């Protein structure tokens, strides 16, 4: 305890540390050299009598406050209230006013104002040095050199002497200040004493007329002489205010010594206010006695009038030398301390040397030397120029100090409880207004320049300085405003839809590129990183949550620099943790509408559980080596890559606990919760470890952002009727997300946006391309459109599966490997290998193959109803009253007889006919009053489910095989109705979500009741299905109908001779294939055409509700997705449950 006591004894008290420095800093050389001139030009009261012009009214308005001195001191007193409030609100350290401002307003404001205040103190030092030499020149005019550079040399000598004394330390400085104050006090008191006791006299040579105390002289100096040549109205008043204000603005002198004060919180308010009271009384006495004893002409023409009319002239000279000498010393020491504090806060780069201190008193030697250099440069200006610049810088500092206190008070910051009782938010507001107005009143050009410099420094610190945890007032203001507007925020309308993302993350290091990608895709919207801590022990979990909260926060704000929030939760199970995350994420009207998760790691599952039957992915030797080598190669990391820079060093999240791997069924549970229960838009990211983000040097190897929008559809069947409803929202969401990503400047500068679709036959390409372009035009999306056709012969897998002709053994082996566990494939291969078979046997075999893929229990069948869901199965859809106006995929997946498929191009009628402007329409609501009446429905626009392209389609008429006379074998015929026209569509219930090559109908904007325009498609009347038969009971699905629809009859001979020479090419279509075979074909198509792609967006096949109940079914679903995405660039698989685009104004 002795050492601290000794340290306290060496500190300065209120009088020596605050009162005396403030008094000496306020008592400026301007008192002796400029007060007479100011008094002679504007008079003691400083008021004009002519009020006829606007200028006179402005001057009157200002001078009614009692003149220059009162205005200056009013600004000082109010600012002192704010200074005292901040100083009494906590512990004040070294750095003075800079420390107070920076810890109140934050590093940006504090650093920029601190630097400007430092320059003001440097200029004040130069002002006093110039004043010192000017005093010596007035008193020793005969012996002093008169040349400019000779005077500059003398000023340099004086500055060097003051700098040397300031290096002696603050203790010596404080002891010298006491003697200097005595000398200055004696000089000031001699002015009224001389007015009282000196006899009147006149000296024409010196332009002196001294009358002693005289009422006539007082009345002469009471008002400005408007008829005189020295009167210039408002312009003179502005110039004189700029010259006078530095003589009153030294109130921060005590705060500048805060590091040397024993008790700054009490000493600064008390010492500063007493100093203001003392100096204001002294100034008033000097002005009154000068006005009552000295003639008006003498005040204007004699700059040394105070000394020439004094009883003992050396007293004034001693006071002038004392005030200039002390103020110069004070400016050097205070400025050096401030620069030392700035350097130690490491706000500006390259200032670390200036933060060092020598000896036990921590003297800022390096900062003193820098101050000397700058002050030496400032000596080139004259006294009046320096005074005006000092006024601008001081007033800017006062403005920010008052503004900081005002904001702290009105924001109701609980911890802003200043001990100074005379402060209020009203006083701070008045001080800020007066300071800002006075600054521009002095010189609007200089004030604007100073503000611009302040803004430049602010931005420089904002982007270059390291983060500082100082609790600045801006955070409090942001909190106040955010809370207020969050309460007013409503769920967004579809016209203002933007992706509000929640990304479920376990390990930030392995998912850094996905995190950065989602940050680019959010388009200024909400972005949340969600993480679940799995634990049964709450005590342990609470500690882990606290440490992870800090680590994640540092990762977001300091390392990745993304604009995201963090959401942590604890749960005994990962599934319940994710549910809690989704339910609690966001605040008010800001809630996530897209959930993004990484793809399940099947490779890790294979290693961890070798006994589990996990289908192997396509191995490299089974793929086209030219493609796999090129596309499977991980891009070389470059320094221009943001993610690479983040991953180069240690991350704060490297030390946190990582959760273990989840099972496939658990992963599917989360996916089903998001898509089918929460009904959120879902995106699954795969392969983002190889993502190539835009580089600043333009050295990217990838060229495109590819969108493969594949449309989802659902078919409801009963009693011979079928309703095909299309979820167009996923299609448009892919386009929307691709456009948003491409609108980010960094991505648009490097990558092109492409939309890629496919059809099965060449004759459909041109029409499909036109329809897609029409859709993009209506959505105002600029992109390159590319249409492929599957039967072009370039897809080896398509030829091998559809026609049975593999172009090479490698392709055949690869297809067999991928489909080796598919029963239908084995049966199809067996059928193709048979050389002799009757027509009826062929039909029966093919029918059994197709039928077996629809509901085989041994294979993953996400759209086959689980046994315990039997009570939910609808056996008829004659009246589906619960089907909403906009049925989502998740809604359709819950219907027992729904068959979900995925269509790339068949975007059905009326794309732009939904009422998007209806009240409360947020893009995800449904109309519970709408329903489909199959029996009474016709095929006009009103019969469709709005914007989903729903239509009623008859099932292919019943076909039967009969023995005809004269024929050696069975003949395929129809029991009723004629065969369907044109190429058939989907012909049977598939085993899981499938793709289709249906063409894209023409896009059209439609309006319902003049309420709004929404996305749908125009019908193609010539391709609409025929009307259903009258007798609905006779219409049913029959497998032979499928064979008839594909014109199998034409391939059968009139005799029972089996297949022709081309019997291996069974008449299959892409639409007929189960999902795994479709994924295999599409994987090859995408690999061939997206090899220069940075990221690829396509449709996520939706799992049926209940898939997660079986580990085998979950693994099969994930394996199929793995086939679709194998060896592709980073893929984002998207599923939409809401409408996200509109053409409404």
| Residues 905-939 pLDDT 10s | 544 444 444 444 444 443 333 333 333 333 333 33
Taking 60 as the threshold, does the pLDDT of residue 434 lie above it?
yes
Phi-psi region of 93 (alpha: psi -120 to 50; beta: other; left: phi over 0): beta
Q: Is the pLDDT of residue 1042 over 60?
A: no
Q: What is the pLDDT of residue 977?
A: 36
C-alpha distance from residue 37 to each of 56, 84, 1018, 1081 (Å): 21, 34, 87, 95
In Å, how far are 713, 904, 1145 from 773, measured between CA atoms? 22, 15, 21
1085: left (phi over 0), alpha (psi -120 to 50) or beta: alpha
- 847, two tokens: 């029918």
- Alpha-carbon separation of residue 73 from 69, 277, 434 (angstroms): 6, 10, 11
Structural domains in the chain plus CATH codes? 2-29+75-218+250-456 (1.20.1740.10), 492-1145 (no CATH)
Which of these, 1000, 1008, 884, lies nearest to 942 by C-alpha position?
Answer: 1008
Could you tell me the pLDDT band of residue 214, with boundaries at 50, 70 and 90? confident
Is residue 273 very low, low, confident or very high in pLDDT (cuts 50, 70, 90)?
Answer: very high
Helices (H), ranges, 705-744 = 728-742
Can you list the alpha helix ranges (DSSP code H) found in 106-225?
107-139, 148-166, 170-197, 215-220
Note the helical H segments in 819-879: 823-833, 839-855
**Residue 959: predicted pLDDT:** 34
d(CA 103, CA 400): 13
Mean pLDDT of 517-521: 92
- What pLDDT is recorded for position 476? 75
What CA–CA distances, in Å, run from 580 to 31, 486, 510, 598?
72, 21, 24, 19
Q: Are 1074 and 828 in contact (CB under 8 A)?
A: no
| 887 Cα distance to chain centroid | 34
The pair of three-digit structure tokens given for residue 1093, joined into one six-digit string = 């792609």
What angle is formed at CA 449 by the lines to CA 444 and CA 450, rounded to 5 degrees? 100
How would you label 944-979 residue by residue, b for 16+ Cβ within 10 Å and e otherwise?
bbbbbbbbbbbbbbbbebeeeeeeebbebeeeebee
CA 761 to chain centre: 46
Which is more confident, 977 or 617? 617
Q: What is the pLDDT of residues 325-362, one digit of tens each?
A: 878 887 888 888 888 888 888 888 878 888 887 777 77
Closest CA to 1076 of 986, 993, 989: 993
Question: What does residue 54 show for φ and ψ, rounded to 5 degrees?
Answer: -60, -35
Picking from 972, 976, 994, the residue whose alpha carbon sits closest to that of residue 1073 is: 994
Q: Say whether 209 sits in a helix, a strand or coil.
A: strand
Residue 503 has pLDDT above 90, yes or no: yes
Whether residue 417 has pLDDT greater than 90: no
Mean pLDDT of the chain, nearest integer: 74
- pLDDT value of position 627: 43
The larger pLDDT score, comparing residue 549 to residue 1028, is at 549
Give residue 76's pLDDT. 92
Tell me: pLDDT of 1044 over 50: no
Which one is predicted more confidently, 956 or 595?
595
- Beta bridge partners of residue 970, listed in sequence order: 963
- Tell me the whole-structure pTM to 2 decimals: 0.66
* CA dist list (Å): 621 to 393, 810, 1083, 1126: 74, 8, 16, 13
pLDDT in tens, 1045-1093: 443 433 444 444 333 344 344 467 887 788 888 899 999 999 999 988 9
Which ranges constitute the DSSP H helices of 991-1038?
none
Average pLDDT over residues 149-156: 90
pLDDT for position 292: 87
**From the centroid of its chain, how far is CA 439?**
35
* pLDDT at residue 583, rounded to an integer: 93
Distance (Å, whole) CA 97 – CA 257? 9
DSSP structure class, residue 684: E
Query: What pLDDT is recorded for position 577?
Result: 93
Q: Do residues 808 and 624 touch, judged by C-beta distance below 8 A?
A: no
Q: Write the pLDDT tens digit of every residue in 683-700.
A: 999 999 889 888 877 778
The residue ranking higher by pLDDT, 139 or 956, is: 139
227-239 average pLDDT score: 61
Asked if residue 458 lies in contact with residue 347, where contact means CB atoms within 8 angstroms, the answer is no
How far apart, in Å, are the Cα atoms of 850 and each of 569, 827, 898?
A: 47, 10, 18
pLDDT at 971 over 60: no
**Per-residue model confidence (pLDDT) at position 428:** 93
**How much is the pLDDT for 37?**
80
Average pLDDT of the segment spanning 181-188? 87
Which pLDDT score, from 0 to 100, does residue 1033 have? 32
Segment 423-445 shows an average pLDDT of 91
Q: Which of 95-109, 543-557, 727-741 has the lowest mean pLDDT?
A: 95-109
H/E element holding 788? strand 784-789
The model's pLDDT over 445-500, given as tens digits with 9 standing for 90+, comes to: 889 998 898 888 888 887 777 777 776 677 777 787 888 888 888 777 787 788 99
pLDDT level of residue 849 (50, 70, 90 thresholds): low
List residues bridging with 717 in a β-sheet: 722
State the pLDDT at residue 230.
52
Question: Does residue 158 register a pLDDT over 80?
Answer: yes
Residue 710 pLDDT > 80: yes
What is the end-to-end Cα distance of the chain in Å, rounded?
75
Task: Examine the pLDDT at 838 and tell me if it is beyond 70.
Answer: no
């Amino acid at each position: 305890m002795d050492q601290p006591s000794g340290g306290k004894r060496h500190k300065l008290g209120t009088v020596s540390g605050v009162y005396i420095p403030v008094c000496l800093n306020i008592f400026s050389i301007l008192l002796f050299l400029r007060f007479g001139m100011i008094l002679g030009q504007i008079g003691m009261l400083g008021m004009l009598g002519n009020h006829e012009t606007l200028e006179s009214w402005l001057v009157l308005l200002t001078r009614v406050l009692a003149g220059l001195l009162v205005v200056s001191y009013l600004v000082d007193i109010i600012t002192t209230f704010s200074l005292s409030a901040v100083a009494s609100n906590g512990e004040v350290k070294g750095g003075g006013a800079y420390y107070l401002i920076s810890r109140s307003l934050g590093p940006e404001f504090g650093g920029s104002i601190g630097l400007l205040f430092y320059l003001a103190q440097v200029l004040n030092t130069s002002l006093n040095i110039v004043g010192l030499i000017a005093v010596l020149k007035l008193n020793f005019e005969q012996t002093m050199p008169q040349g400019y550079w000779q005077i500059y040399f003398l000023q340099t000598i004086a500055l060097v002497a003051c700098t040397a004394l300031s290096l002696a330390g603050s203790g010596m400085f404080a002891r010298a200040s006491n003697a200097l104050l005595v000398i200055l006090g004696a000089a000031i008191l001699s002015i009224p004493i001389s007015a009282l006791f000196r006899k009147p006299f006149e000296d024409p040579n010196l332009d002196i007329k001294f009358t002693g105390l005289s009422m006539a002289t007082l009345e002469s100096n009471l008002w400005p002489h408007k008829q005189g040549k020295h009167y210039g109205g408002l312009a003179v008043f502005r110039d004189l205010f700029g010259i006078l204000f530095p003589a009153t603005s030294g109130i921060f002198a005590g705060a500048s010594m805060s590091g040397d004060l024993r008790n700054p919180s009490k000493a600064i308010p008390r010492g500063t206010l007493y100093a203001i009271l003392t100096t204001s009384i002294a100034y008033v006495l000097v002005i009154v006695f000068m006005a009552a004893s000295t003639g008006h002409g003498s005040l204007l023409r004699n700059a040394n009038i105070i000394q020439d009319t004094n009883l003992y002239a050396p007293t004034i000279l001693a006071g002038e030398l004392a005030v200039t000498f002390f103020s110069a010393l004070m400016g050097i020491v205070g400025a050096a301390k401030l620069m030392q504090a700035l350097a130690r806060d490491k706000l500006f780069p390259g200032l670390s040397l200036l933060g060092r201190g020598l000896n036990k008193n921590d003297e800022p030697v390096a900062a003193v030397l820098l101050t000397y250099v700058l002050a030496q440069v400032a000596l080139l200006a004259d006294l009046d120029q320096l005074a005006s610049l000092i006024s601008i810088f001081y007033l800017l500092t006062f403005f920010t100090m008052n503004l900081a206190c005002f904001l702290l008070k009105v924001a109701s910051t609980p911890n802003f409880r200043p001990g100074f009782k005379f402060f209020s938010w009203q006083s701070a507001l008045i001080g800020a207004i007066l300071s800002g107005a006075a600054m521009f009143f002095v010189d609007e050009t200089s004030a604007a320049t100073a503000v611009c410099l302040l803004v430049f420094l602010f931005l420089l610190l904002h982007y270059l300085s390291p983060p500082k945890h100082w609790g600045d007032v801006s955070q409090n203001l942001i909190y106040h405003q955010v809370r207020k507007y969050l309460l007013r925020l409503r769920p967004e309308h579809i016209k203002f839809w933007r992706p509000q993302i929640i990304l479920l993350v376990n390990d930030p290091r392995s998912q850094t590129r996905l995190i950065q990608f989602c940050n680019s895709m959010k388009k200024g919207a909400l972005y949340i990183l969600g993480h679940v801590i799995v634990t049964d022990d709450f005590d342990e979990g609470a500690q882990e949550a606290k440490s992870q909260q800090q680590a994640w926060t540092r990762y977001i704000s300091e390392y990745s620099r993304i604009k995201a929030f963090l959401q942590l939760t604890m749960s005994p199970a990962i599934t319940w943790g994710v549910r809690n995350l989704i339910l609690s994420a966001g605040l008010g009207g800001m809630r996530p509408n897209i959930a993004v998760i990484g793809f399940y790691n099947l490779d890790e599952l294979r290693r961890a559980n070798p006994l589990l039957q996990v289908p192997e992915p396509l191995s490299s030797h089974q793929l086209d080596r030219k493609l796999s080598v090129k596309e499977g190669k991980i891009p070389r990391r470059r320094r221009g890559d943001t993610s690479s820079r983040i991953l180069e060093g240690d991350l704060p999240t490297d030390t946190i606990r990582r959760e273990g791997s989840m099972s496939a069924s658990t992963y599917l549970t989360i996916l089903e919760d998001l898509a089918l229960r929460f009904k959120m838009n879902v995106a699954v990211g795969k392969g983002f470890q190889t993502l190539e983000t835009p580089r600043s040097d333009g050295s990217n190897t990838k060229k495109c952002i590819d969108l493969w929008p594949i449309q989802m559809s659902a078919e409801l069947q009963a009693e011979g009727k079928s309703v095909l409803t299309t979820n167009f929202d996923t299609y448009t969401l892919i386009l929307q997300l691709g456009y948003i990503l491409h609108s980010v400047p960094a991505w648009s500068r490097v990558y092109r946006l492409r939309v890629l679709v496919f059809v099965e036959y060449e004759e459909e390409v041109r029409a499909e391309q036109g329809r897609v372009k029409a859709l993009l035009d209506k959505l105002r999306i600029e992109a390159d459109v590319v249409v492929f056709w599957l039967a072009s012969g370039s897809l080896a897998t398509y030829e091998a599966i559809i026609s049975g002709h593999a172009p090479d053994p490698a392709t055949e082996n690869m297809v067999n490997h991928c489909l080796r566990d598919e029963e239908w494939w084995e049966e199809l291969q067996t059928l193709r290998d048979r050389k002799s078979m009757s027509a009826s046997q062929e039909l029966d075999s093919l029918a059994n193959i197709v039928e077996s893929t629809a509901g085989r229990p041994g294979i993953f069948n996400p759209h086959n109803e689980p046994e315990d869901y039997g009570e939910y199965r609808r056996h008829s859809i004659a009246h589906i009253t619960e089907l909403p106006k906009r049925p989502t995929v998740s809604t359709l997946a819950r219907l027992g007889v729904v068959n979900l498929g995925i269509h790339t191009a068949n975007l059905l009628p009326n794309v732009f006919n939904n009422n998007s402007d209806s009240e409360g329409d947020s893009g995800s609501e449904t109309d519970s009053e709408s329903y489909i009446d199959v029996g009474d429905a016709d095929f006009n626009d009103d019969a469709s489910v709005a914007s989903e392209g729903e239509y009623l389609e008859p099932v292919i008429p019943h076909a039967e095989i009969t023995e005809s006379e004269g024929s050696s074998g069975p003949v395929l015929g129809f029991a009723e109705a004629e065969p369907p026209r044109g190429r058939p569509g989907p012909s049977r219930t598939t085993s899981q979500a499938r793709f289709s090559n249906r063409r894209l109908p023409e896009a059209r904007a439609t309006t319902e009741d003049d309420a709004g325009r929404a996305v749908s498609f125009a019908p193609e009347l010539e391709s609409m299905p025929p009307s259903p038969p009258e007798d609905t009971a006779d219409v049913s699905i029959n497998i032979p109908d499928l064979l008839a629809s594909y014109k199998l009859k034409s391939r059968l001979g009139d005799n029972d001779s089996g297949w022709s020479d081309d019997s291996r090419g069974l008449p299959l279509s892409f639409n007929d294939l189960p999902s795994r075979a479709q994924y295999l074909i599409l994987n090859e198509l995408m690999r061939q055409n997206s090899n220069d792609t940075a990221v690829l967006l396509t449709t996520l096949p939706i799992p049926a509700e209940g898939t997660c109940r079986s580990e085998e079914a979950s693994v099969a679903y994930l394996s199929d997705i793995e086939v679709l995405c194998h060896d592709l660039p980073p893929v984002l698989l998207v599923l939409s449950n809401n409408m996200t685009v509109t053409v409404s104004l």
